[in-house]
Chains A and B, each alone.
Chain A
Amino acid sequence: MEAFLIRYSIYVVFLIVFVIWIGIAGWLWRLERRLVELEQWARQHEGNRP
């Protein structure tokens, strides 16, 4: 098991880093969309102000 981990350690590191990045990217993408919605909402409300 140890020999396997040492030999394939870089692939394990790749998998961990890649999965973390996909998670971060997905979170950023969703955050971007939500912020755009919030900006639109804020613009509409500012326009409706008396």
Chain B
Amino acid sequence: MKAILIGLGVVGGIIVGLVPAVHRPRPRWWMALCVGGMGLTIALGLLPPLSGTFRDAVITWRQVNPELYVPVAGTLDWDAAVASGDTLVVPMTDRAIPPTTAQVLIPSALFVPKDASVVILAVQRWKNDQQFVVQGIVAADPILALPFIPGLEERARNLFFHVPLSWVAVVAYAYALWYAVLFLRRRRFIDDVHSVSAVSIGTLFALLATVTGSIWAKFNWGSFWNWDPRETSIFLLLLIYAAYFALRQSIEEPQRRAQIAAVYAIVAFVTVPFLVFIMPRLMEGLHPGSASDQTAGPILSTQPGVLHPLKQIVFALSMFSFSLLFFWLLSLRVRSGILALRHKIQQVQEISETS
């Protein structure tokens, strides 16, 4: 199911992105799909509250940070509630499989709706693994909730933004390779415009992936940059494609510039599968899916339950929407490049006609 959903997001994004062709204007429905898809990705990725279990609260207390309050979803048994000073001791059954029942200590001043069938409470382990003190209410009868992952907490939402940005960069570099090959075969400058546009936008996406990853790393691993194999590989990739622009700038003659840039784009892409898909998985590192990780990471792992169904849907949607955003930017860049190219040709023709 996970493979189908994510596959649909990836393949659907590329197909819808390429229809209509990149050099044609984007229809209104297409732009609305992209704007809506991205808006929905942001809303579904950031708004649903996190929902954990008592086990998560115990793990967090023992292994992560004993000060942290964990959102635990469950049903409160108000009939068995007992008042103790200014707190209410209420049995609560969480939504784990199998469910666990524990006592939660709710301050009398805190309003918790009694008619709600499911509440998410911010709790912290108290005297033992069966007693939890409540700090506040996170949500009552939430429509959607994302799973709480001890050690990652809210930061797990970065998956919906960081991974699609990196993926789109790979798609962009592959697109640049394809048009570089076409240029070398057909010698049409329009193919060069496609290729250079894809490299520019791909590099923008690779930079954004690096920034989102770096901010995440600061809060999860303690430093903005850790020279993890995947960080090193994206750094190398950025250097390789930065050299592409330096190379283009250094050649004045348009035919020669396009030709050498096309050869460089082909050679540069040879490193992409190795740097993105192979090297970070062979070496030990901090990223999920590295050699030191027991799983292939939340996206590629075939183990059941690694990625929550709602996360699968939001991730597939984000892959689709980010692909559309890339093709929109690419279309704008390619079409303005073609206009500039036509203008230059026209100027050359006018000069040759007058002389």
Q: When A10-B154, A35-B332, A35-B336 are in contact, do A18 and B346 touch as well, CB less than 8 Å?
A: no
A7: which of B31, B38, B136, B346 is its contact (CB, 8 Å)? B136
- Find the residue from A17, A32, A49 having the highest chain B CB count within 10 A: A32
B64 within 8 A of A: no
**Chain B interface, DSSP helix/strand/loop, else mixed:** helix
Q: Write the nearest CB–CB distance from A11 to chain B, whole angstroms.
A: 8
* A39 contacts across to B, CB distance below 8 A: 25, 335, 339
| In contact, B342 and A14 (Cβ under 8 angstroms) | no
Interface residues as binary, B132-157 with A (CB distance below 8 Å gives 1, 0 otherwise) = 00001000000000000000001001
* A31 contacts across to B, CB distance below 8 A: 332
**A32-B335 Cα distance, complex, nearest whole Å:** 10
A18: which of B39, B339, B343 is its contact (CB, 8 Å)? B39
A21: which of B39, B332, B335, B342 is its contact (CB, 8 Å)? B39
A29: which of B31, B46, B343 is its contact (CB, 8 Å)? B31
Interface residue range, chain A: 20 to 34
| In contact, B42 and A35 (Cβ under 8 angstroms) | no
Q: Write the nearest CB–CB distance from B326 to chain A, whole angstroms.
A: 12
Interface residue range, chain B: 20 to 34
| In contact, A13 and B46 (Cβ under 8 angstroms) | yes
Interface residues as binary, A12-30 with B (CB distance below 8 Å gives 1, 0 otherwise) = 0110011001100100110
Q: Write the nearest CB–CB distance from B30 to chain A, whole angstroms.
A: 10
Interface residues of B in 286-337 (CB under 8 A from A): 328-329, 332, 335-336
A10: which of B25, B46, B328 is its contact (CB, 8 Å)? B46
* A42 contacts across to B, CB distance below 8 A: 339, 342-343
B43 within 8 A of A: yes
Interface residues as binary, B258-288 with A (CB distance below 8 Å gives 1, 0 otherwise) = 0000000000000000000000000000000
**A49-B243 Cα distance, complex, nearest whole Å:** 40
Q: Write the nearest CB–CB distance from B307 to chain A, whole angstroms.
A: 20
Q: Write the nearest CB–CB distance from B294 to chain A, whole angstroms.
A: 29
| In contact, B25 and A25 (Cβ under 8 angstroms) | no
**Chain A interface, DSSP helix/strand/loop, else mixed:** helix
B35 within 8 A of A: yes
**A13-B216 Cα distance, complex, nearest whole Å:** 13
A46 within 8 A of B: yes
**A11-B46 Cα distance, complex, nearest whole Å:** 7
A14: which of B31, B46, B329, B343 is its contact (CB, 8 Å)? B46
**A34-B42 Cα distance, complex, nearest whole Å:** 27
Residue of A nearest to B49 (CB): A10
* B257 contacts across to A, CB distance below 8 A: none
B47 within 8 A of A: yes
| In contact, B38 and A32 (Cβ under 8 angstroms) | no
**A14-B44 Cα distance, complex, nearest whole Å:** 10
Q: Give the interface of A toward B (CB within 8 A).
A: 7, 9-11, 13-14, 17-18, 21-22, 25, 28-29, 31-32, 35-36, 38-39, 42, 46, 49
- The contact sample of 7 A-B pairs, CB cut-off 8 A, is A10-B154, A10-B157, A25-B38, A25-B39, A29-B31, A29-B35, A35-B335
Closest 9 CB pairs of A and B: A14-B46, A25-B35, A36-B25, A17-B42, A18-B42, A10-B154, A35-B335, A32-B26, A14-B47
- For the complex with contacts A22-B39, A28-B31, 12 further pairs of A-B residues with Cβ separation under 8 Å are A10-B157, A11-B47, A14-B43, A17-B46, A25-B35, A25-B38, A28-B332, A32-B328, A35-B335, A39-B339, A42-B342, A46-B346
